[in-house]
Structure 1
């Protein structure tokens, strides 16, 4: 019989640093009762995740990716054969580990970081493949029933990281040898050195290469025509260099170089990111999703079917959008995957620029965002939107797609795309890391409009002067919260901090239910990788006077599992993502 949790455990007694009182901190900001209530909610959430996560299988420290907030049981993946598998995918839990470390930082209690260390220690000890890759990512996880590796993409799912940005600082602290081996093998398994192709899928059968970065860096892939426009090669055998995989490759190589003192991995990472920069449009500044197109490797019969959208029949956009001529290439699309291009990719570039002193990455990020916002950003009916277009500025808004293809069905009309609040962070961080105030003005102007349209009020003039903020905003968004905290950290204007407190209170009121943080009151699952708790702890730290630079840093929360499962009709086989099929379930869907 299923156990219904009528009353989730509430933690009343929590160890806090001895100096904790409702008082003015050293920088003059008073820590209030409402500040404590937000912290208390995060503590309750973390304690409940640990309690119910560990209760399911006491033979492991591993935690499920998400917890059913009605039963305390782990989320399960239902395969086409109806097997239900509770899963732990540590690539999808990196923000929870950051949250645990952050909670130890603000409370002074080591217990939370110790939990993170114990979990990661077991995982890296027991679930690293002999070739160095961890059993995690888009297509593999650990079955919490039997602690065996579970594939979701056929019998032998590949390794896949796309904008997951592991918490390498902690991984290196827990098991340096395993982490260094993983970062090297990530490149061995995913990058094809002889042809400069890159595959988002890496094989667990690829032998470990301790000298993976020992090869000579080749010439740049992207060349230019007589007009100075980039030439995108069309010779990739289906191994397309998607930027959301490149970010993880580059971030690993930069971290490896910094940790070991060997500059060669960083040189390879910079080479990889330079290909996207070279492929960018020199007139608009907008960059690309990939720096190669696929070659035709399938038969004419297969490619005669427009519904065949796997790589192998040439560029998929050139096939479906041929009315637009040469600009119709998958690389140049500026309305799909823009989160990967202009949010996650830019955040990684900025982190590398700041941490590893690669100053021109700041310039690249600024040029990408300035061009993107100048051409593609629009305010429609009081909402922030993206105009569908190619990256040379060719607008596709209103175009009716004549036939089915990779980008959608026939007769699909291209409309404006909503801009999510995630765009706030890369824009602000780019401004903060741009040293010349004159170079900050253009982005600040766009940023000011976007923040206002999201309902946060007027952030004022460059540098934080004369803001007219909506202190009573109803926004309950973690990215808006982090933005206001980072604005305060940048300007020291306490008005931003007060709005941050309001957003934090809204998050707790609207998203803290049944002892867990959820996307909304009716959502069934609490996902470990959600960014709300990390955002709330960053706010708490700044109020206490703890330097933001000493806190775990948000980079991404793009973790997912993708594979085959039982369709909603309970009969057919489907292929989908956890974000679409599991984390959309409500308390009314559960039986």
Structure 2
């Protein structure tokens, strides 16, 4: 049996190694007046032309370190499993270059609206957003950053909090930030916190997708430095979302403040639904449509559950709060019969089928709010929540989600007569979900199913030495999750799980105005283009 496992693991490693060699051959910076250790964000699958962005008549060759974190995890993990140091070395050189040369004050030119142009060797930013720093569920590979330069990584995280937090007394923050230069002896973590009621009015947009990155960064700061104050701030910010929970349903909101931007707009939910839903307390902090519920029960849940696991007892509250959110949204927003989540008010009112009487942020007049099927990321979150809490209701909802996604029956309880048939599934998140099942109950059927998905990834997505969700896609994004999933499979098969960098469902994007098109997101605008 052991030999068969090693053979299977070897096939996964060879595929990832072939991909990594291809990326090192065609994805490094050879542009402009001088090369750097940086990578392009992506390239054409046939010509290897780098992904570019057109703005103000210029053509940028994008290198966005925040959008390459899974590539760095893959290269680092590959070196660990193969013993070949050149892969991690390539990642380390790129990260060190970023920490030394791509600084925006204490911040870094990376994320949702900032990047680096390899042709001009200059930082660039979205013309329609300005030079705004933004992370939304990116969850960078801080472990490698601290290993390479602990001082500069700590300086970045301090700058991240300092630039985004507008009011430390109540933790009002904005998803956008610019550097704030302060005296070196003015310690970020020594600010005063008062707390107070949530749903206060402010200019910040306290979205949980951006808040989770602040929480993750401060918690990783503590993990690497032992600075207790950073962990206290991470927990204070996480608790702000807990404080938005409805007293009866336990459902929390997507933000904890009421956003009012002078001369721009007020709260978007109030503006669009205050009259239509006048019998309810309606604001952005109490109304969650399907995509926002996905963030709460998917990426953010995985982020907090991961912190609970890596921080052990010091992170217990993160895990508790994540499980409580999964339970509340499972009870009130999830429909097990259709494996779908309904748009909700946190008071428990389902908004599915609501026809909008006024156009606004949530849709146009006449549009209808709809339920959306759960996906594999939410399945993974519910399974991880179950494994860390043993809460049986989470297992029940996960069983429904697995069936709804086509994976089959995970069993009435862990290991109890599962009947899995991954079928056409070749989604790398399916690997993580099934490995989570295997971690919860060491039943061979769960590992076999994970390997079946891994095999399908190689058979259906590995083309031209890169990973493509569809055969005719023109560009490959180097921040692929597929090779990282295969590494986790190989590590499980060889009892080396601790050797692979942690991945908690983060996603990467660059959003900016593109000449002739308006605001676009690279993941859909570029990486969906066909040959």
TM range (shorter): over 0.9
**Offset at residue 401 of structure 1 (A):** 0.8
Secondary structure of 2:259 counterpart? coil
Report the Cα offset of residue 110 of structure 1: 1.6
Cα gap change, 1:550 to 1:208, in 2 (>3 Å): farther
Question: 2:171 matched to which residue of 1?
Answer: 196
- Give the equivalent residue in structure 1 for 2:490: 540
Please state if 1:63 is matched with 2:13: no
Query: Is 1:161–2:153 an aligned residue pair?
Result: no
Task: Name the structure 2 match of 1:324.
Answer: 277
> 2:412 is matched with which residue?
461
Is 2:332 the counterpart of 1:375? yes
Report how far residue 462 of structure 1 moved.
Answer: 2.5
| 2:119 equivalent among 134, 141, 145 | 145
Contact residue 473 and residue 499 of structure 1 kept, 8 A? no
Whether 1:211 and 2:177 are equivalent positions in the alignment is no
Equivalent position SS for 1:523 = coil
SS at match of 2:345: coil
* Aligned residue in 2 for 1:582: 526
Mapping 1:445-524, distance limit 5 Å: 445-470=396-421, 473-524=423-474
* Residues 1:292 and 1:199: Cα distance change in structure 2 (over 3 Å): same
Conserved in 1, the CA contact under 8 Å of 2:299 and 2:377?
no
Residue number among 329, 333, 336 corresponding to 2:287 in the alignment:
333
Partner SS state of residue 519, structure 2: strand
Deviation at 1:88, TM superposition (A): 0.3
Offset at 1:174? 1.0
- Is structure 2 residue 188 aligned with structure 1 residue 250? no
- What's 1:12 paired with? none
Superposed counterparts of 1:97-136, under 5 Å: 97-129=72-104, 131-136=105-110
What stretches of structure 2 of length at least 5 have no aligned partner? none
Q: Distance in 2 between matches of 1:373 and 1:171?
A: 36
Match of 2:475 among 525, 535, 538: 525
1:170 and 2:144 are equivalent in the alignment? yes
Secondary structure of the equivalent of 1:56?
coil
Q: Write out per-residue CA displacement over residues 554-586 of structure 1, whole angstroms, 9 at most, x where no aligned residue.
A: 12332111111123xxxxx50121123112211
Shift of 1:35: 4.3
Aligned match for 1:186, one of 148, 160, 169:
160
Structure 1 residue 409, shift from structure 2 partner: 1.3
- Which residue in 2 is equivalent to 1:84? 59
Work out whether 1:236 is the aligned partner of 2:202: yes
SS at match of 2:344: coil
Q: Deviations over 1:101-135 (max 9, x none)?
A: 11112212222111111111112111123x31011
Partner SS, residue 78 of structure 1? strand
- Alpha-carbon shift at residue 286 of structure 1 (Å): 1.8
Name the structure 2 match of 1:408. Answer: 363
Task: Give the structure 2 partner of residue 20 of structure 1.
Answer: none
Alpha-carbon contact 1:140-1:157 (below 8 Å) kept: yes
> Residue 82 of structure 1 contacts residue 566 of structure 1 at CA under 8 Å; is this kept in 2?
yes
Q: Which residue of 2 aligns with 1:24?
A: 2
The residue number in structure 2 matching 1:278 is 243
Q: Indicate the residue corresponding to 1:227 in structure 2.
A: none
* Deviation sequence 1:193-225 (CA, Å, 0-9, x none): 255320111113544665011122212342xxx
* TM-score between both structures, scaled by the size of structure 1: 0.84
* Root-mean-square deviation (Å): 1.9
Tell me the distance in 1 between the aligned counterparts of 2:183 and 2:349. Answer: 45
Displacement of 1:138 in angstroms is 1.0
1:531·1:557 contact (CA, 8 Å) conserved in 2? no
- Structure (1 or 2) with the larger CA radius of gyration: 1
Partners of 1:296 and 1:544 lie apart in 2 by 54
Deviation at 1:55, TM superposition (A): 6.0
Aligned length in residues: 522
Deviation per residue, 1:530-564 (Å, 9 max, x gap): 21111111001111121x23321112332111111
TM-score, structure 2 length as denominator? 0.94
Q: CA deviation at 1:155?
A: 8.6
Counterparts of 1:362 and 1:577, CA distance in 2:
32
Which is further off, 346-355 or 55-64? 55-64
